[in-house]
Chains A and B, each alone.
Chain A
């Protein structure tokens, strides 16, 4: 930490002061945790019976079903959103004005509207025209969730890809045209592979967002993990209390584990990309952006890349 902007390497006096602050700060953090634990304990949330519920096969099965449903929605939505992302990115870079306009409008609209509203509207539409669309029962929720996630994340992925394609040095494109390649060839064999390589960490970070957003299915009462957890906690009564805290702790751990696994993949790919001396600048594995404008963040990281990468180490 000696190379921090904010302070020099501490001398003897500062070290003593830091140690005092460490103790005080540590006690404050500890105090907060103790307060929470004491309150939870007083409400009986740590009683053994509360945690005993996870020994029942029924409880475990419904959590497992929730995880499977969540992963199923995520898998389908991830594949579809990547496909849509490629399609929309191609549309935005098209030479034909109407195609470009359509793609731009689509991206801007679905990026600006909250995903929850898109999903809800799709759900209502699917419920209304269920028989015409050949949907039944559980399928309405599934497709509303999947298609909502697809149009939103597809739009974001399209912007990520476009930023990646634009970040490929111009000489690459010029050289390819000079060799006599057609536009499609230039795109497919020269630009897209480099763009995907540079943007892979960002693309995977966006997949983390997709995974987190599957929990919006809760609002349209689709049986994914969060909905199952809420049902469990709401229906089971132990010692006159609902076991919200144990269920939420277990569910939270599952979600965090799944997201961290994906983030770890992004970081690993980023590090690999940095190591390779290809001259392609690999984007920061960055944050699972809270649906942020991927493009702006990419621009930001491009302008401050050396500093940002240096700062990531601590």
Chain B
């Protein structure tokens, strides 16, 4: 009990750290994932191959290995002096983008073929079809898997704490190194994560209800 009250600033900082790193990598993953999904459904073979390779490689690589690449290869060879926050964001964002890509792709695939055919036969252009017919329907079926992807991302962000970022895992490590009872620390950290994950799933459920349409 005392661990939380005595170290409230640290816990708050860790909580905010987890939130910011999750939000940053979620944004990156969303953008990258949608772009790669676009590659994967495009009629252009090189881009399709690139998308497939991206997804296959990233999905089958342990996230910790990506962190290793991000922290030991990128600063040394490509961009020296990148901050740990950006490096962690890159590792988490790229990893999660492969899952986002697959969710978006299967979302596009759930739109019945007739919808697009009808749109085209009405004379809509490609972008009109995409914007007015396909994407709104795809978005709805993408929301539930997206919710679990972002919850997973929140939990994966703990690894960033092992690579010199201030977030909840990092805080628990520091406090337990100082000799505080690990059981209590665990309880409070678990509570913090529960708050975040409940918030995410609640938010997405709200979104889902908002966008719900009878099919």
Chain A interface residues toward B at CB < 8 A: 1, 3-8, 10, 14, 18, 21-22, 25-26, 29, 36, 39-40, 43, 45, 109, 112-117, 120-121, 124-125, 128, 208, 212-216, 218-219, 226, 229-230, 233, 242, 244-245, 248, 251-252, 255-256, 259-260, 263, 287-293, 296-297, 299-300, 304, 307-308, 310-311
Contact = CB atoms under 8 A, between A and B. Distances in A.
Given A22-B44, A40-B77, A290 B152 contact: yes
25 contacts: A36-B78, A43-B76, A113-B155, A113-B186, A113-B189, A116-B169, A117-B172, A121-B186, A124-B182, A212-B63, A214-B62, A216-B159, A219-B162, A244-B72, A255-B60, A259-B59, A259-B60, A288-B60, A290-B152, A291-B156, A296-B144, A296-B145, A300-B144, A304-B110, A311-B109
Contacts of B161: 116
Interface in B37-82: 41, 43-47, 50, 56-57, 59-65, 68-69, 72-73, 76-78
A25 B44 contact: yes
Contacts of B148: 289, 292-293, 296-297
Given A5-B116, A226-B68, A287 B109 contact: no
Given A248-B65, A304-B106, 18 more contacts: A6-B130, A21-B44, A22-B46, A40-B77, A45-B77, A109-B190, A128-B182, A212-B61, A233-B72, A252-B65, A259-B59, A287-B102, A288-B60, A290-B96, A291-B152, A292-B152, A296-B144, A311-B110
Contacts of B149: 290, 292
Given A6-B41, A114-B193, A307 B110 contact: yes
Contacts of B129: 6
Given A5-B134, A112-B194, A297-B148, A29 B46 contact: yes
Nearest to A284: B106
B156 A6 contact: no
Given A39-B77, A117-B186, A22 B45 contact: yes
B156 A290 contact: yes
Contact of B77 (A25, A109, A124, A245): A245
Contacts of B7: none
A247 to B, nearest CB: 9
Contact of A290 (B147, B153, B185, B197): B153
**What's the dominant secondary structure at chain B's contact region?**
helix
B32 interface: no
Contacts of A248: 65, 68-69, 72-73
Contacts of A255: 60-62, 65
Contact of A125 (B59, B72, B182): B182
A18 B126 CA distance: 14
Contacts of B152: 289-292
Contact of B43 (A10, A124, A297): A10
Interface of B: 41, 43-47, 50, 56-57, 59-65, 68-69, 72-73, 76-78, 95-96, 99, 102, 105-106, 108-113, 115-116, 120, 126, 129-130, 134, 141, 144-145, 147-149, 151-159, 161-162, 168-169, 172-173, 176, 182-183, 185-186, 189-190, 193-194, 197
A4 B117 CA distance: 10
**What's the dominant secondary structure at chain A's contact region?**
helix
A218 B44 contact: no
